[in-house]
Amino acid sequence: MRRIDCLESIYDRLADCVVVTIMGAVAVELYSLGHRPNFFYLEHAMGLASSVGLGVAVADPDRKVVVIDGDGSVLMNLGGLTTLARYAPPNLAHLIFDNESLLSVGGFPTATATGSDLTGLARAAGIANATTVTELTDFTAAAEAAIAADGLSLVTAKVEAVGPASFHMDLHLLENRFEFARALRPDSRPRGTPAGAGDRPDPTSVAPPTGVERPPAP
Amino acid sequence: MPVSAGNSKLVYDALLDAGVEVVTALPETWLVHLVRLAEDDPGVTLIRLAKEEEGVGISTGAHLAGKRSALLMQNHGFLQSVNGIVSCAQLYKIPLLMLISDRGHLGERDPWQTEGGKVTRRVLDALGIVFDELGHPDAVASQVAKAMTLAQSSLSPVALLLTRDLMWEEPA
């Protein structure tokens, strides 16, 4: 199972979520499928994507937050799993791509290569709704269920240690940061409207400008 | 316990006046009243941390989602959080308000607090973080308000040191 195929399988589903990813291959691959204003790529601060997602989730309980994490990053913030479990925001789904390596920085094996089980760690931390998948169809079903769930959910996806040919993203991290914060503003869109819907304006939702003279219809 | 309940309440009320809705904290002795005030306040979301650096990430997420927050921790927790502060809050221009208990400074009796006490101000300086000391009850409200104002306008971390003079009442 490849991470890019997993991401592609849920890409449409992410349109009405708030998405926080880690750096490196995860960010680049999601970006390569098509950037949306509701996607935030944490390009540094390894380990903190789940904490950022928790902050968004408690600050904006009306939106579904999807954290897309990796084994190396989760291992750097294992305590964060206990904090997630403790507050268990019902609007948070934590997806972890476990390729058993630090792929973006040379491919050295992580502790999951020698048996550390992230789903087991999450369950032991108190995240009861945690599962591991190894096949694409299982991932798609588990991720969609996690996103639809009214409760904290975690999915560990065992994926091949392959990544993008290039790590270039034509999006400065500050541009991403400000665009994302704007997309999360309550007045940026009506509640219930998909966060990604800004890409494709719905003509029915655009009110005609007031005070502007319109030529008579021919 | 000789931690000042009255001055803790002054600090807490100042945080509320500054618009803080999310408080992240790793409890330590000087912070007990502040943490309990947040815990008992239905208008505030309190998140107790396993490690202080998480609070930097949580404050980042809260800010991006439009909420003001404060991170309460000991100075050793600040030292623990340095990479998160640099690589998340500073890199991403986040107005992170940190309230840091000033252990290991003048009057400290616990030997284990003293090494961190020696370097706290210099590390804040090295990181380019503007900071001030909360020492006098009369000035707390104004200092907290101004710290939040600067954090929001500069989109940067700002630190307030909770000093012994403010937080600790020596037993009579």
In B, minimum Cα distance to A174 occurs at: B92
Residue B172 falls inside a structural domain:
no
Name the residue type at position A163: G
Residue B59 falls inside a structural domain:
yes
The minimum CA-CA distance between A181 and chain B, rounded to whole Å, is 5
pLDDT reading at A194 higher than 90:
no
What confidence score (pLDDT) does residue B170 get? 78
Q: How far apart are CA A1 and CA A137, in angstroms?
A: 10
B9 — contact with chain A (CB < 8 Å)? no
Q: Pick B64's closest partner by Cβ from A45, A56, A80.
A: A56
The helix (H) or strand (E) run that includes residue A26 is helix A25-33
Q: Which residue has the higher pLDDT, A208 or A166?
A: A166
Q: Pick B84's closest partner by Cβ from A45, A173, A184.
A: A45
Tokens for A56, please give them. 């968004």
In A, minimum Cα distance to B59 occurs at: A55
Q: How far apart are CA B80 and CA A218, in angstroms?
A: 70
Residue A124 falls inside a structural domain:
yes
| Dihedral (CA of B141, B144, B145, B146) sign | positive
Angle ∠(B89,A22,B59) on CA atoms, nearest 5: 30
Q: How far apart are CA A118 and CA A104, in angstroms?
A: 19
If one counts the domains in chain B, the total is 1
Q: Which residues contact residue A168 at a Cβ distance below 8 angstroms, ignoring those fewer than 6 apart? A: A28
Find residue B20's DSSP bridge partners.
B68
B66 — contact with chain A (CB < 8 Å)? yes
pLDDT reading at A216 higher than 60:
no
Residues of chain B with pLDDT under 70: 1, 172
- A88-114 average pLDDT score: 94
B121 — contact with chain A (CB < 8 Å)? no
Tokens for B121, please give them. 């101000």
The helix (H) or strand (E) run that includes residue A33 is helix A25-33
Q: How far apart are CA A18 and CA B62, in angstroms?
A: 13
pLDDT band at A105 (very low <50, low <70, confident <90, very high): confident
B83 interaction partners in chain A (CB closer than 8 Å): 45
Name the residue type at position A131: T
Dihedral class, residue B93 (left if φ above 0, else alpha if ψ from -120 to 50, else beta): left
Name the residue type at position B169: E
Percent pLDDT > 90 in chain A is: 81
B26 — contact with chain A (CB < 8 Å)? no
- The answer to whether residues B145 and B17 touch, using CB atoms and an 8 Å cutoff, is yes
- A187-199 average pLDDT score: 52
Residue B12 falls inside a structural domain:
yes
Residue A209 falls inside a structural domain:
no
Residue A215 falls inside a structural domain:
no
Pick the closest to residue B144 from B9, B11, B30 (CA basis): B11
B60 — contact with chain A (CB < 8 Å)? yes
- The answer to whether residues B56 and B81 touch, using CB atoms and an 8 Å cutoff, is yes
Domain of A174, CATH number, reads: 3.40.50.970
What confidence score (pLDDT) does residue A189 get? 55
pLDDT reading at A205 higher than 50:
no
Q: What is the pLDDT of residues A16-57, one digit of tens each?
A: 999 999 999 999 999 999 999 999 999 999 999 999 999 999
What confidence score (pLDDT) does residue A147 get? 98
B46 — contact with chain A (CB < 8 Å)? no
Q: How far apart are CA A36 and CA A66, in angstroms?
A: 14
Q: Pick B88's closest partner by Cβ from A44, A58, A59.
A: A44
Lowest pLDDT segment from A81-95, A96-110, B50-64:
A96-110
Domain extent, residue A58, equals: 3-199
Residue A20 falls inside a structural domain:
yes
DSSP H helical segments within chain B, as ranges? 5-17, 32-39, 52-64, 75-80, 82-84, 114-126, 137-154, 164-167
A131-170 burial by CB neighbour count: b if 16+ within 10 A, else e? bbbeebeebbebbeebbeeeebbbbbbbbebebbeeeebe
Q: What is the mean pLDDT of chain A?
A: 89
Q: Which residue has the higher pLDDT, A212 or A111?
A: A111
Give, rounded to a whole angstrom, the gap between the first and last alpha carbons of chain B: 12
Q: How far apart are CA A122 and CA A177, in angstroms?
A: 29
If one counts the domains in chain A, the total is 1
Domain of B140, CATH number, reads: 3.40.50.970
The minimum CA-CA distance between B4 and chain A, rounded to whole Å, is 28
B93 interaction partners in chain A (CB closer than 8 Å): 174, 177
What confidence score (pLDDT) does residue B60 get? 98
- A110-122 average pLDDT score: 97
Q: How far apart are CA B164 and CA A79, in angstroms?
A: 30
What confidence score (pLDDT) does residue A204 get? 42
Angle ∠(A156,A178,A144) on CA atoms, nearest 5: 25
In A, minimum Cα distance to B93 occurs at: A174
A77 interaction partners in chain B (CB closer than 8 Å): 51, 53-54
Residue with tokens 């003048």: B106
B55 interaction partners in chain A (CB closer than 8 Å): 51
A175 interaction partners in chain B (CB closer than 8 Å): none
What confidence score (pLDDT) does residue B29 get? 95
* Residue B154 burial (CB count, 10 A): 12
Domain extent, residue B153, equals: 5-167
B23-35 burial by CB neighbour count: b if 16+ within 10 A, else e? bbbbbbebbebbb
Examine the predicted complex and report whether its ipTM is higher than 0.95: yes
Q: Which residue has the higher pLDDT, A106 or B9?
A: B9
CB contact under 8 A, A52 and B57: yes
The minimum CA-CA distance between B10 and chain A, rounded to whole Å, is 25
The minimum CA-CA distance between A57 and chain B, rounded to whole Å, is 8
CB contact under 8 A, A45 and B22: no
- The answer to whether residues B80 and B54 touch, using CB atoms and an 8 Å cutoff, is no
Q: What is the pLDDT of residues A152-166, one digit of tens each?
A: 999 999 999 999 999
- Longest alpha-carbon distance in chain A: 74
